[in-house]
Chains A and B, each alone.
Chain A
Amino acid sequence: MTAGAMNRETLFNTVLAVLLLVLPLAAVAIGEPFYVTLATRMAILALAAVGLNLALGLGGLVSFGHAAFFGIGGYVAGIFASHAFNQEPMLFGFEGSDQMPVIWLSAMLVSALVAVPIGAISLRTSGVYFIMITLAFAQMIYYFAISWPAYGGEDGLSILTRNAFPGLNTAQPISFFLICYGLLMAGLLLFWFVRNSRFGAALQAARQNEARVAAVGIAPFRIRLAAFAMSAAITGVAGALFADLNRFASPSMLSWQMSGELIVLIVLGGTARLFGPVAGAILFVLFEFALGGLTERWQLFLGLILLGVVLFARGGLIGLFAGKARHG
Chain B
Amino acid sequence: MAETVLSIRDLRKTFGALKATDGVSLDLRVGEIHALIGPNGAGKTTLIHQISGSIKPDHGTIHFRGEDISRLGVAERARRGLGRSFQISSLAPEFSALRNVMLAVQARQGSSFRFFRPVMTDRSLIEPAMAVLEQTGLGSRAHLPAAELSHGERRQLEIAIALALGSKAFLFDEPMAGMGPEGSRQLTAFLDRLRAQAPILLVEHDMEAVFALADRISVLVYGRVIASGTVDEIRNDAEVRRAYLGEAS
Which chain A residues border B96 with CB–CB below 8 Å?
327-328
**Given A219-B73, A327-B95; A193-B165 close (CB under 8 Å):** no
Tally of A-B residue pairs with Cβ under 8 A? 114
Q: Which of A14-22, A75-83, A151-159, A204-212 contacts B (4 or more CB under 8 A)?
A: A204-212
Annotate B108-119 by CB proximity to A: 1 below 8 A, 0 otherwise. 100111111111
Q: What's the Cα separation between A80 and B113 when bound, in Å?
A: 32
Question: Is A28 an interface position by the 8 A CB rule?
Answer: no
Q: Which of B23-31, B55-63, B97-105, B175-183 contacts A (4 or more CB under 8 A)?
A: B97-105
Which chain B residues border A215 with CB–CB below 8 Å?
52, 74-75, 78, 84, 86, 90
Contact present for A198 and B117 (CB under 8 Å): yes
Contact present for B106 and A209 (CB under 8 Å): no
Question: Is B229 an interface position by the 8 A CB rule?
Answer: no
Which chain A residues border B165 with CB–CB below 8 Å?
216-217
**Given A216-B161, A217-B78; A201-B73 close (CB under 8 Å):** no
B102: contacting residue among A201, A211, A326, CB under 8 A: A201
Q: What's the Cα separation between A328 and B91 when bound, in Å?
A: 15
Q: What's the Cα separation between A216 and B84 when bound, in Å?
A: 9
Which residues of chain A from 88 to 122 have any CB-CB distance to chain B below 8 Å in the complex?
A: none
B104: contacting residue among A198, A208, A216, CB under 8 A: A216
Contact present for A217 and B118 (CB under 8 Å): no
A272: shortest Cβ distance to chain B, in Å? 10
Which chain B residues border A311 with CB–CB below 8 Å?
none
Closest B residue to A199 using CB positions: B115
Q: Which of A193, A200, A201 has the most CB of B within 10 A?
A: A201
Which chain A residues border B93 with CB–CB below 8 Å?
208-209
Q: Which of B78, B94, B108 has the most CB of A within 10 A?
A: B94
Which residues of chain A from 168 to 199 have any CB-CB distance to chain B below 8 Å in the complex?
A: 193-194, 196-199
Contact present for A212 and B107 (CB under 8 Å): no
A327: contacting residue among B79, B94, B122, CB under 8 A: B94
Interface residues on A, range: 20 to 34
Contact present for B92 and A217 (CB under 8 Å): no
Contact present for A209 and B119 (CB under 8 Å): no
| A contact face: mostly helix, strand, loop, or mixed | helix
B99: contacting residue among A201, A213, A223, CB under 8 A: A201
Contact present for A217 and B99 (CB under 8 Å): no
Which chain B residues border A201 with CB–CB below 8 Å?
99, 102-103, 106, 112, 119
A208: shortest Cβ distance to chain B, in Å? 4
Question: Is B54 an interface position by the 8 A CB rule?
Answer: yes
Which chain B residues border A328 with CB–CB below 8 Å?
96, 99, 120, 143
A66: shortest Cβ distance to chain B, in Å? 20
Which chain B residues border A202 with CB–CB below 8 Å?
103, 106-107, 112
Contact present for A217 and B107 (CB under 8 Å): yes
Q: What's the Cα separation between A212 and B101 when bound, in Å?
A: 11
Question: Is A294 an interface position by the 8 A CB rule?
Answer: no
Contact present for B118 and A211 (CB under 8 Å): no
**Given A205-B103, A214-B75; A198-B94 close (CB under 8 Å):** no
Q: What's the Cα separation between A194 and B117 when bound, in Å?
A: 9
Question: Is A3 an interface position by the 8 A CB rule?
Answer: no
Q: What's the Cα separation between A223 and B52 when bound, in Å?
A: 21
Using A196-B119, A198-B106 as known contacts, list a sample of 20 further A-B pairs with CB atoms less than 8 Å apart, ordered by residue number in A: A1-B143, A193-B115, A193-B118, A197-B118, A198-B111, A198-B112, A202-B106, A202-B107, A204-B94, A209-B91, A211-B86, A212-B92, A213-B103, A215-B90, A216-B165, A218-B112, A327-B95, A327-B99, A327-B145, A328-B99
Q: Which residues of B contact A (CB under 8 A)?
A: 52, 54, 73-76, 78-79, 84, 86, 90-96, 99-100, 102-104, 106-108, 111-120, 122, 125, 143, 145, 161, 165
A-B residue pairs in contact (CB < 8 Å), sample of 20:
A193-B115, A196-B118, A197-B118, A198-B122, A199-B113, A199-B115, A204-B92, A205-B92, A208-B92, A208-B94, A211-B90, A214-B73, A214-B74, A217-B79, A217-B165, A218-B103, A220-B75, A327-B95, A327-B96, A327-B99
